[in-house]
Amino acid sequence: MKIIETVDEFRQAYALAKKPLGLAPTMGFLHEGHLSLVKRAREDNATVAVSIFVNPSQFGPNEDYGAYPRDMESDLRKLEEAGVDLVFAPDAAEMYPDGFDTYVDVGSIAERLEGGHRPGHFRGVATVVCKLLTIVRPDRVYFGQKDAQQCLVIKRLSRDLNLGAEVIVCPTVREADGLAMSSRNVNLNAEEREAARVLFKSLQLAEYMFFSGIKDANELRRQMRHTIEEEPLAKIDYVSVADGDTLRELDVAASPALVSVAVNFGKTRLIDNITL
Ligand code: AMP
């Protein structure tokens, strides 16, 4: 496994790499969710690359860029075990050198849900993914359904700017009690970790209601809110039942609807979703 920190060095490695090449972009502090993308990439491609970069431009000024968990040594061990060929781990100055002044704005799909609550977030995501795709030039790029809106934003970006990588979305990997794996889960204390079970519980409730014949999206959102609010440590950012393509809020839930939640537990903000 080759660990590469600069764009120039990656270009050289690219020239020598067997194709097709698959890339899984990450912010590190890797867990089984990330490794599921790597596994899928390993099955599909002759060369597997993983990027590790905590991207400052996708964090708001009051968000957790500084507190975002990092452990490069452990990450590299896991990637080596998973059979990764190339790790691209640039520092912030390599990705955003002095004078950097070009950003990518994806349109309406990036304005809703996470975009509405985290202004500038998807501008940062789209910019860094655009850069990663032009540096790494993968044939396929792997993302997790856990960040469902991010997947839609990247598909739009890749199509609109002809970035040339096939975007492959992999299922959400969960803990035994249903909590979606996330690097941020490590920041939950024991009470918050227990409380965070309510995320998946609320999504399961929506699924149960939907398949019991309740299609009124307001009712689904109301019952989900009620479930989450029963948990005193949970502070809701949003509860959404939206069209799976446009992310517009629905009046009547119809398959495939994206049911998603963003909830704060203390200082930790978690998101999760299911598709009906
Ligand atoms: P992150 O390091 O949080 O930016 O995530 C990197 C990639 O891993 C993104 O495409 C995420 O959607 C994906 N990912 C994160 N958590 C999970 C999970 N629990 N299951 C599947 N994919 C995940």
Structural domains of the chain in order of their starting residue, each with its CATH number: 2-170 (3.40.50.620), 183-275 (3.30.1300.10)
Residues above pLDDT 70, as percent of the chain: 100
Of the residues 27, 34, 187, which should be mutated to test ligand 1's pocket, given the most ligand atoms within 8 Å of the CB?
34
Annotation marks residue 31 as catalytic: no
Nearest CA-CA partner of 36 in 171, 238, 153, 135 = 171
Six token digits for residue 130:
């655009």
Nearest CA to ligand 1 atom 6: 26
Residue 182 CA to ligand 1 centre (angstroms): 7
Closest atom of ligand 1 to 171 CA is 21
Buried b (16+ CB within 10 A) or exposed e, 165-180: bebbbbebbebeeebb
Q: Could you tell me the pLDDT band of residue 241, with boundaries at 50, 70 and 90?
A: very high
The pLDDT of residue 30 = 98
Of the residues 34, 117, 121, 226, only one is catalytic, namely 34
Residue 107 CA to ligand 1 centre (angstroms): 23
Model confidence pLDDT, tens digit, residues 10-36: 999 999 999 999 999 999 999 999 999
The pLDDT of residue 115 = 98
Other Cβ atoms less than 10 A from the Cβ of 227: the count is 20
The pLDDT of residue 264 = 98
Residues at CB less than 6 angstroms from ligand 1: 26-27, 33-34, 36-37, 143-144, 146-147, 170, 172-173, 180-183
Question: What's the mean pLDDT in 46-61?
Answer: 98
Contact 49, 136 (CB under 8 A): yes
Question: What's the mean pLDDT in 158-172?
Answer: 98
Nearest CA to ligand 1 atom 7: 26
Question: What's the mean pLDDT in 180-206?
Answer: 98
Backbone angles phi, psi at 195, to 5 degrees: -65, -30
Q: Could you tell me the pLDDT band of residue 70, with boundaries at 50, 70 and 90?
A: very high
The pLDDT of residue 16 = 98
Nearest CA to ligand 1 atom 12: 144
Closest atom of ligand 1 to 173 CA is 20
Question: Is the pTM value of this prediction over 0.95?
Answer: yes
Residue 33 CA to ligand 1 centre (angstroms): 6
Q: Could you tell me the pLDDT band of residue 140, with boundaries at 50, 70 and 90?
A: very high
Instruction: Kindly list the distances between the CA atom of residue 122 and the CA atoms of 55, 107, 112, 119, 181, in Å, as whole numbers in the listed order.
Output: 11, 10, 10, 8, 21
Give the distance, in angstroms, between the CA of residue 32 and the centroid of all CA atoms in the same chain. 14
Nearest CA to ligand 1 atom 5: 26
Residue 34 CA to ligand 1 centre (angstroms): 5
Contact 5, 91 (CB under 8 A): yes
Closest atom of ligand 1 to 28 CA is 2
Instruction: Return mean pLDDT, the chain.
Output: 98
